[in-house]
A and B are shown apart, each in its own frame.
Chain A
Amino acid sequence: MTEPILEIEDLNISFYTRKGEIPAVMDFSMKVMPGETMGLVGESGCGKSTVSLGIMRYLGKNGRIKSGSIKFKGRDMAEMSEDELRGLRGSQISMVYQEPMASLNPALKIGQQLTEVLTIHEEISEEDAAKRAAEMVGAVRLPDPDRIMGAYPHQLSGGQQQRIVIAMALLSRPSLLLLDEPTTALDVTVEAGIVELVKDLAREMGTSMIFVSHNLGLILETCDRITVMYSGEAVEEGDINTVFNRMRHPYTRGLLRSIPVPGADKFSRPLVAIPGQLPLPHERPKGCNFGPRCAHFRDNVCNSHEIRMHPVGSEADRHRSRCERIDDIEWNAEVDAGEIGEPVVPGDVVLSVDKLKKHYSVSTGMFGGGDTRTVKANEELTFDAREAETVAIVGESGCGKSTFAKVLMGLETATEGKVTLGNLDLANTAVEARGPSTVSQVQMVFQNPFDTLNPSMTIGDQIVRVLEMFEIGESDADREERMLELLDLVKLPREFAKRMPRQLSGGQKQRIGIARAFAGRPKLVVADEPVSALDVSVQAAVTKLLTDIQRESRTTMLFISHDLGVVRYLADRVVVMYLGEIMEQGPTEEIFAPPYHPYTEALLSAVPVADTHVKKRHVVLEGELPSPLNRPQGCPFQTRCQYVMPGTCDKPLPERRFGEGHVVRCHLPAEELEKMEPVIVVDTAPTAAE
């Protein structure tokens, strides 16, 4: 048997803070064989990043490896001197971090930063280093390596920067590459390109990889083996297919059941939320950390002693799980999803957007002189939303969805066009001019739960303030009562009224955000990626709560998201935006099946899917999103479209209509659009049973 590249045994890492010792990683073992890609998956705070930093021996002032060994190519890293470690880092072991801009020195040209890696670790002349660096830039598929080598980091886009970071990490041909959430800061279509690149490069160079991510879909697409972490411990480890299809830990199963997959809708594969929330590091329970949230918890079995990893099946399977009741649990049991809501019957049109335009003028000269150029953030948006309907607005960053939300909320007024809610004109009335009754009709749920509540006011006071603003309730006591009812509505205990936001978890804060938005019984709620910043296991619960309240109150919801899984799961209709324009809109089922707009096709293909039964057709987008300052004539997508037809695509976009309200704005003839093959194909085999 070959020697593993990296072997971690019984690793314990603690951080020492004001509150005393906080164990971040406990009893962690892992083996990475040459050429193997290991996925490390878990929610925030589970210790996955600490493991990767521990491998680099880079834990900062507070962190310390308490016990256990990390062997790199058979040598214990604890016995290496600081000099040896420095020689190892960046040459034998390289790391790619989440934020590309933070990994590059903004004051140095790309070329200098790349050649430096080689001149430091290898005795090599400046010219040779520059030559190899340029080759590597080509290898990470960046166009025009010479220009890139002479550029500063800020002159490149996020995706290009991350490619440079990867090039830098691979320059000295490391035997181990650590990738810590390398694509989290990037858009899905860019992410797809990076993932493809990393996979190819690793295969070509035979590099072993550790891929740290919270995204199960991404892990499935990139890794051979997977380690699932929960609250500082590895709970399950095994080959990727084994863990996805024959998982033997309740947490892994819960995680897989709580993420929506674009291949399935809510009826064929209902979401099941994991109850409760992650324990704080200093409040971990005795025994199994997942115990308090686990449906299979048994007193005196799961909480009586420290639980070790148990092998599953034969030794050769290399499948292990930290569950005491592996043999007792019926792993193939049908999902109990509770009652599945009846499909809502949408009512009349509530919101109608007609040729909405929002332009910003940007002056380039000093003192406001010089050229004035126009940023067309929204260009002719037209769509309707009905009562009780959920309309998803999908698109990557910069597609104008946030600007559109601002216009709806009255934080900006439209340049042209109309937005009407019932008989109210929203497009041209700023929020100050709206009056309490209108304002309470249009509310918003914000993206970042940690930012959405005022940190220095109690939860109760914040909700009461909203009620006051909306002129709801007769007296202070009345409003107090209504505030408590709102807490009931979002399923939070009434004691929370007296708490400060910092005492709440992300999911709980987002529930308060929802309570606040629904306080005035709004007609329209704009939800801007309401769950994307939450932990995976909490997302499902918050999503369910949001849709339940919305359905019950027959509120129209505009759901802004880039996560097509969630969109497929809860939207009735989908609007796909690109560079401020609507490219395609229609009922959810039709958007997820051909005919597609070429952009929708690429978007669908880019989404990582956490289901081994889903087969995807690969469409990787080339190029970058054009600047909204100089958008192409005609179709905005033509610069990246694989079907581009020179001479045709720069004419105004025609509308191709299919079925009920399904509109594709594309120059391709309808017949060709209809001939497209589906991007996502689901194998008929049932998901959990195998």
Chain B
Amino acid sequence: MPAETLGTLDILLQILQRFMPVWIALAVTMGGGYFIRDRLGQFGRLYGSRIGLVGLGIVLFWVFTAIFADLIAVTGPVDQLSFTAKKAVPGTIDAEKGVVLLLGGDNLARDIFSRVVYGSRIVLIIAPTATLIAYMVGSTLGLPAGYYTGFVDTAMSFLANLVLAFPVILLFYLLVTPEVREPVMVDLLLFDLPWSIPIAMSAIFFLFPIVFLCLLWFTKYEKNKQRLQVYLGVTLVLGIWVYLGLVFNADPTGLLSMDPNELNVFAAVVFVSSPAVFRVVRGLTMDIKTRDYVAAAQTRGERPWYIMLWEILPNARGPLIVDFCLRIGYTTILLGTLGFFGLGLQPESPDWGTMINHGRSFVRLASTAHIALFPALALMSLVLGLNLLADGMREESLKD
């Protein structure tokens, strides 16, 4: 019995309707932003650039999709429908539950539309967070390299080049290998900690945000002991709690934990992106350190780290924000690649990379190609949006 299907126009209308919360949110933010654009700095300037505005629109679209995923999605991300939904073409109506499969169903009779919508959640949490950590690692190393130059710079740049020259694919395969991935419990006298190469890498990378923040507070409030104690205390307690929970799955309260697969993803992404961030930050530092306000800070006896974090880094933010947007795009693609290798999250996870990986065996037939096509389109549009946004911002920052 051939299942009932909707026409293309109906599908489009229904999709538009499902995204209603997103349209409303978009209208409110972009419209509201227009009125306060003078106060938004770099982002406010985007209103002068059509390309940048389109980019911002696409990115915000996915952000709101992630936020309102529960309202938009028809089914849960892993809900299986009846056999009619199996590899169903877009617009098929499920025979049992009467659910319209707007973008068709996959080989396990799950609604692709809902999965793509939920997938945005995973992508939009992991990609920016991983990029942010890569930024903290890259900045913490790039600032001193650019500031001191000389031996420090030579050594660290060499290391960065080494990492950049390392074949990424090989690294990914390495991380997928069960022998490498499976944590081994190590007895540390007082308590046991899981140990594996990805965990070791994450243990190093996740340390940087804590170090970064502590340096930030220490240099700023060194002479203001009271505030310093508060800021440092909060940072250290929160930081170490999150650190133990995420990296070693050893949160004493049991609230925080991260799937080993996710940890893998973080380790891989940060390892690959931080050398590039390092280079950008190093170059900007070399440029900004010749300014008079840096000399002024030196002549009033500021510590080098104060100058790097408070005099140089904030003034490099323009190009860094642009690079950050671009890099979230790269990271998103990287997540897709990782998912494709099966290094992504759990196999049933609706992240776009994993979905493409699952759909790839059906691409040969025109009637089932959509299983891989729609997550790929979603991935592409988000990356495109981020690139347009970055381009728009760069263009506007060059104008006067």
Contacts and interface: CB of A to CB of B under 8 A. Distances in A.
Interface stretch (A158-166, A449-457, A657-665): A449-457
Contacts of B315: 454-456
23 contacts: A17-B399, A18-B399, A18-B400, A409-B298, A410-B299, A431-B298, A431-B301, A443-B300, A444-B295, A446-B295, A451-B292, A452-B293, A452-B296, A454-B293, A454-B297, A454-B310, A454-B311, A454-B314, A455-B315, A456-B315, A468-B223, A471-B223, A513-B296
A448 B291 CA distance: 9
Contact of A446 (B45, B292, B400): B292
B50 interface: no
B18 interface: no
Contacts of A434: 301
Nearest to B293: A454
B302 interface: yes
A526 to B, nearest CB: 9
A468 B220 CA distance: 10
Given A435-B301, A453-B293, 4 more contacts: A431-B301, A439-B299, A448-B292, A468-B224
Interface string A79-93: 000000000000000
Contacts of A471: 223
Contact of A457 (B223, B298, B314): B314
Given A18-B48, A447-B292, A471-B223, A466 B317 contact: no
Contacts of A432: 301
B223 A443 contact: no
A432 B305 CA distance: 13
B314 A443 contact: no
A71 B299 CA distance: 55
A426 B311 CA distance: 26
Contacts of A435: 301
A261 B299 CA distance: 33
B193 to A, nearest CB: 39
A118 B21 CA distance: 69
Nearest to A435: B301
Interface size, B (range):
20 to 34
A17 B299 contact: no
A444 B298 CA distance: 11
Interface string B304-326: 00000011001101000000000
Given A451-B293, A452-B292, A456-B317, A411 B299 contact: yes
B393 to A, nearest CB: 14
A476 interface: yes
A470 B293 contact: no
A466 B295 contact: no
Contacts of B301: 431-432, 434-436, 439, 469
A575 to B, nearest CB: 21
A45 to B, nearest CB: 13
A257 interface: no
A528 to B, nearest CB: 9
A516 interface: yes
A92 B373 CA distance: 64
Contacts of B291: 451
A681 to B, nearest CB: 39
Contacts of A409: 298-299
Nearest to B299: A409
Contacts of B310: 454, 457
A447 B296 CA distance: 11
A483 to B, nearest CB: 14
Interface string A164-205: 000000000000000000000000000000000000000000
A466 B399 CA distance: 34
Max chain A Cβ within 10 angstroms of own Cβ: one of B223, B317, B399:
B223
A431 B296 CA distance: 12
A265 B300 CA distance: 34
A476 B399 CA distance: 40
Max chain B Cβ within 10 angstroms of own Cβ: one of A431, A435, A456, A468:
A456
A523 to B, nearest CB: 14
B242 to A, nearest CB: 28
A469 B399 contact: no
Contacts of A442: 299
Shortest Cβ-Cβ A-B pairs, 4 listed = A456-B314, A451-B292, A439-B301, A446-B292
Contact of B300 (A18, A439, A455, A457): A439
Interface in B13-57: 45, 48
Nearest to A438: B301
Contacts of A453: 293
Interface in A305-332: none
Interface in B206-252: 223-224
A440 B301 CA distance: 9
